[in-house]
Amino acid sequence: MIKTNENKLKLYGFNNLTKSLSFNIYDICYTKTEEDRKRYIEYIDEQYNSERLTKILTTVTDIIGAHVLNIAKQDYDPQGASVTLLISEEEVPLYVLDPSCNRGILTPIRENIVGHLDKSHITVHTYPETHPENNISTFRVDIDVSTCGQISPLKALNYLIDSFDSDIITIDYRVRGFTRDVDGRKHFIDHDINSIQNFISKETIARYNLIDMNIYQSNIFHTKMKIKDLKLENYLFEISEEDLTQQEREEIIQNLNKEMTEIFYGINVPNV
């Protein structure tokens, strides 16, 4: 590879690589009654409404060194929220002074916005879910960060993990397309990676069991993470351990473990 003094490729024209990070977290909670499940959903909707999610995604944009072009956000009834940010690698002026208008009105530069619609964006969707059969409620956050050029969504990975209470995490990262160096040689990736774990802090890795499934020749990387230590007090909603019998505690832990195992491996585990 031909590289500059900063250890970067000397490219011919624009960096055409597209880098996409898909980040899913699951938060799991024991909700004993129908009223508990209702209050849990209300709590989640309050904690992770579109306003807070927008702040998280805006910080992600700053971390990866991108610029926000547009924000769309929505809270849903009865539950859930979505936010979409359009971003660019370079700072783009959204308005110019149009002298043909009275008082020189600022006019939007629409073509600059449209030019980034299919290349750089960040989206988040939330999915609270409950079911009365096992008294377990789950909350899923789905985040997609897609960038083009030199900016990389992997820079924000630790921040995303730390922004949520995550029992199960699934991460997909892929690099598509190619870019050329000054000699015309194609490069299908512009950075070193053999695992998403390379970009996760050691402190976080110590808290999880991790599995990798990677297709190196296609620049596709997949990592699953499952929390190691299940402390019951962290999974009880509006109830304390002291209110439970030993048998109840064991049954709840068994149900929590079953739920996590099913999500982690993507299978339904039969009841024993």
Q: Could you tell me the CA-to-CA distances from 70 to 21, 73, 78, 85, 144 in Å, in that order?
A: 20, 10, 26, 6, 16
Q: Answer yes or no: 120 catalytic.
A: yes
Catalytic residue among 88, 120, 146, 152: 120
The residues facing 266 across adjacent strands are none
Catalytic residue among 20, 67, 82, 125: 125
Q: Answer yes or no: 218 catalytic.
A: no
The residues facing 213 across adjacent strands are none
Instruction: Work out the burial of residue 132: count CB atoms within 10 Å of its CB; fewer than 13 is exposed, 13-18 middle, 19 or more buried.
Output: exposed
Cα-based angle 174, 226, 230 (whole degrees, multiple of 5): 160
- 63 phi and psi, to 5 degrees? -65, -40
Q: Answer yes or no: 121 catalytic.
A: no
Catalytic residue among 88, 121, 148, 152: 148
Integer Cα distance of 190 and 54 in angstroms: 29
Q: Which residues are catalytic?
A: 120, 125, 148
